[in-house]
Amino acid sequence: MPGNLITFLGVLLAGLTAVILTFKMRGRLREAGEREGRLRAFMREQSNAIRAMARETLHLRRHVGKATREIESLSQDYVALKEKVKQAEGVDRRLYVLDDRRTQVDTEFIISMAHPNYKRHVSPKATAALSMAWSTGRRYVVWAVDKDRALDKINARMPKEQGYVICAVAQRDGDG
């Protein structure tokens, strides 16, 4: 019987060891499950954070694209305005006074005059700028009682027969 006892004790010891190892393994499995749960929760948080960052990145990329298009549009507008300013600076805005004689009943008229062939017909030695000013038109201040007298005055100085052309006539108020 002693051999059976030793076998029995060996089997008992092996069973107890198996039970103890099983409890330890269950504890480790529980810890591993908890760790796995924490890791899954952490991964969900990270995934949600990455998605939020991706949405924000997409929003920012769209915002940058819109800002870039707006900058390009403003740049084009700037170039166009710069060109308009250059053209406006090239326009002669001077007013020439036909004569300074006037009475209290005279009205001020602004008469635009042009001469398309000023250099050829009037002054062959005229500069290019003067010739251009005449081809685009010059504005004269004329004081007269009425429009007809103002036209008579301007025609006396710059007759139609010599190629001068009246482009516009405007009467100005006394506030002018």
Tell me the β-bridge partners of 114.
Answer: 165
What CATH number has the domain spanning 95-172? 3.10.20
Report the range of poorest mean pLDDT among 1-5, 14-18, 152-156.
Answer: 1-5
Residue 175 pLDDT exceeds 60? no
Question: Given a cut of 60, is residue 46 above it in pLDDT?
Answer: yes
Quote the pTM value: 0.49
- Please report, for the chain, the start and end positions of each structural domain, with discontinuous segments joined by +: 1-90, 95-172
In the prediction, which pLDDT does 45 show? 95
Mean pLDDT in the chain? 87
CB neighbour list of residue 114: distance below 8 Å, 6 or more residues apart: 134, 135, 136, 137, 138, 164, 165, 167
Q: What is the pLDDT of residue 176?
A: 46
